[in-house]
Amino acid sequence: MAKYILKRILMLIPVVIGVTFLVFFIMSLTPGDPIRIILGDEATPEAIEQLTRELGLDQPLIIQFLRYLGGLVQGDIGTSYITNRPVFGEIMNALPFTIELTIWSVTFGLLIAIPLGVFAAMKQYSLMDNISMIVTLVGAAIPNFWFGLLLMLLFALNLGWLPSSGTGTPMHMILPALTLGTTNAAIIARMTRSSMLEVIRQDYIRTAKSKGVGSSAIITKHAFRNASIPIVTVIGLQFGGLLGGAVLTETVFSIPGLGILMVNAIRQMDTPMILGSIIVFTILFSVINLIVDILYAFLDPRIKAAYK
């Protein structure tokens, strides 16, 4: 297992390099001039030329890329064009808000989705099964930003039960977590139902029933554990996706997370900030996938044996 973890960590290096180069290339094709954005439209040609040299933007793209990689190897992910502050510090200030929102959203999704999916599988084709699947289909189709505005209108403006925006208390995270976690819950619930249906039709489940094992024991000790590997996969993918997909939710609820930081950086052509944010997202997503793979080993001894 240790060798496998080390191998996955080493594989992260070419992934980060590839993502960095891709972003560099895309930013070079993006319309707009960061120098004009920084200095304004009334900047003199001399000032433009001087700042271009200072930022190294007069160099070929490959030279700029290699210079950035050199700093990255030394732990320097750049300095913001706009704020002139280290990108790492800016990201570390915003990242906790995004992680907190993601954890709240995943928690909400699991509390709703797992029981709903298991119940729907155990009561297949019943009225409640049909209703639950329709609800999850609607939940997966609702746009986050529209659903967030509806929740804000109902619970914040009309009822006054919850704050409409900002951060600071757990109450501030309820509406954003519901907004971001609804789609997550719908997808996990449908996967849970599908996995449970596949498992409860196996011979060992029928054998357990014939021996008089109770329904609750069959679900918890046999069926759910064997059905949990695809569920864990979806949860891991959803967690990583929520980290990167919280942009609209953070914007609607004025949460100063990494999503808003990236949106502002894209608007201002702040390439170092964009690169730093994407590198952090890449590392987080890779770490989450590694954790999911490790969980596989605890859920299925056959997988653990394959890692040895």
Rounded to whole angstroms, how far apart are CA atoms 267 and 44? 23
Residue 76 has φ and ψ, to the nearest 5°, of: -105, 115
Rounded to whole angstroms, how far apart are CA atoms 61 and 291? 36
Q: Are 252 and 149 in contact (CB under 8 A)?
A: yes
Residues 6+ apart with CB under 8 A from 78: 68, 71, 86, 87, 271, 272, 273, 275, 276
Residue 112 DSSP one-character state: H
The 10s digit of each residue's pLDDT in 48-104 is 788 778 777 778 878 888 888 888 888 788 888 888 888 888 888 888 888 888 888
pLDDT confidence band for 301 (50 / 70 / 90): low
Q: Are 296 and 303 in contact (CB under 8 A)?
A: yes
The mean pLDDT value of the chain amounts to 80
Query: What pLDDT does residue 303 have?
Result: 58
pLDDT confidence band for 13 (50 / 70 / 90): confident
Q: Are 288 and 242 in contact (CB under 8 A)?
A: no
Residues 6+ apart with CB under 8 A from 268: 34, 37, 81, 82
Residue type, 9: I
Residues across the chain: 308
Query: What pLDDT does residue 28 have?
Result: 75
Residue 133 has pLDDT above 80, yes or no: yes
Q: For 251-280, what is the mean pLDDT? A: 83
Residue 58 Cα distances to 78, 158, 271, angstroms: 17, 55, 15
Rounded to whole angstroms, how far apart are CA atoms 190 and 116? 9
pLDDT confidence band for 4 (50 / 70 / 90): low
> Above pLDDT 90, what percent of the chain?
0
Q: Output the CA angle 241-242-244, nearest 5 degrees.
A: 70
Residue 67 Cα distances to 21, 56, 60, 62, 74, angstroms: 12, 9, 11, 9, 11
Token pair 């997966």: residue: 140
Q: For 107-136, what is the mean pLDDT? A: 84
The reported pTM is: 0.77
Residue 255 has pLDDT above 70, yes or no: yes
Q: For 9-31, what is the mean pLDDT? A: 79
The 10s digit of each residue's pLDDT in 74-89 is 878 888 888 888 888 8
Query: What pLDDT does residue 245 have?
Result: 61
The token duo for 62 is: 């490959």
Query: What pLDDT does residue 85 have?
Result: 86
The 10s digit of each residue's pLDDT in 35-44 is 777 777 777 7
Domains of the chain (ranges; CATH) run 2-86 (no CATH), 88-307 (1.10.3720.10)
Q: For 273-286, what is the mean pLDDT? A: 83
